[in-house]
Structure 1
């Protein structure tokens, strides 16, 4: 997984085999404008058949194990 351009966006992490986008959101994502932009962006990405999962910077920095467990829970038993 790594950053990748999709449409007019650069997603934080992308796994093509799982069609999974993982976004890590900082403070700018919590403004009204940031939240609206993220909603629109998520809808567009989902329109390509992608699953979008979001975590906050705080979650990644302070509870990394739980973030990893949540991501692992998204992986099907027999991944492609």
Structure 2
């Protein structure tokens, strides 16, 4: 894990963020997500400077589009944000968790299980 991932994981592990459970390096199909909350179907992806390059940005967009077709919301956070404003990053994650936690997937939905 990168330094930013280690710092964020320290804050997310053991249900520290309002009781939401996160997994790290969670696979979905051909992708491995940095952090994933099954209850809210939320992926948190940390991006470094290399993600600014056009080729990488396009790949990230394709990855996010695919995950969204699977019912997974993708929240992208820059590494430097974790270091500069960790509290703000955690607040943003918490807000999305609150929005997503009310989303329930019934048997008739064609979504894979969390």
User: Do the aligned residues in 1 keep the contact of 2:42 with 2:97 (CA within 8 Å)?
Assistant: no
Alignment TM-score, normalising by the size of structure 2: 0.65
Q: Which has the higher strand share?
A: 1
RMSD over equivalenced CA pairs, Å: 1.3
Measure how far apart 1:75 and its partner are: 2.2
| C-alpha distance after superposition, 1:6-34 (max 9, x if no partner) | 11111100011110000000111110001
Larger Rg: 2
Unpaired segments ≥5 residues, structure 1: none
Unpaired segments ≥5 residues, structure 2: 1-21, 103-114
| C-alpha distance after superposition, 1:31-63 (max 9, x if no partner) | 000100000000000010010000000001111
Of residues 65, 70, 83, the one that matches 1:43 is 65
Runs of 4+ in 1 over 4 A off after TM superposition: none
Measure how far apart 1:76 and its partner are: 2.5
Alignment TM-score, normalising by the size of structure 1: 0.92
Q: In the alignment, what sits opposite 1:33? A: 55
Aligned length: 79
